[in-house]
Amino acid sequence: MAVMQQIQAEVDRYPLVLFMKGTPQYPMCGYSSRAVQALMAAGAVALRTVNVLEEPEIRANLPRFSNLPTFPQLFINGELIGGCDIIMELFEAGELKRIVEEAAQG
C-alpha cells in the first residue's frame, strides 16, 4: 500500500488519530507530550496514535497529505484538526472534550 493510502486508511479507520513523535507513554517532544495530555484530560480513551519516528515514510509524507508541516497532527473523523497549538486552544476553551465525546459516539 502506498504511504498516502496508508495515511488515508488510518484517518478513515479510527475516529481519533494523533500522529506524534513517540508514544503516549513516552512522547519524544514537548509538543506531542502536551497534545497527548490534553487529549487524555478531554477523555480521549479510544485515541489511535502513530509514532512517526518509527514510521519514516509517514513522517516524510504526512505534511504533504495534510498541508501541515509540523507534528503532532490530530485527525478527528477523517478531518485534520491541527497541531499542538490548536489542540491546546480547544482544550483551554473546553471544546476539545465536546469534540472528543462526539467522535466517540460516531
* pLDDT 10s digits, 3-39: 999 999 999 999 999 999 999 999 999 999 999 999 9
* Res 61 pLDDT > 90: yes
Alpha helices in 42-83 (DSSP H): 56-66
* Res 1 pLDDT > 70: no
pTM of the model: 0.95
Half-sphere exposure of 50 (CA within 13 A, CB side): 24
pLDDT band at 104, cuts 50/70/90? Answer: confident
Report which DSSP code applies to 45. T
| Domain layout of the chain by residue ranges | 3-105
Homologous superfamily (CATH) of 3-105 is: Glutaredoxin (3.40.30.10)
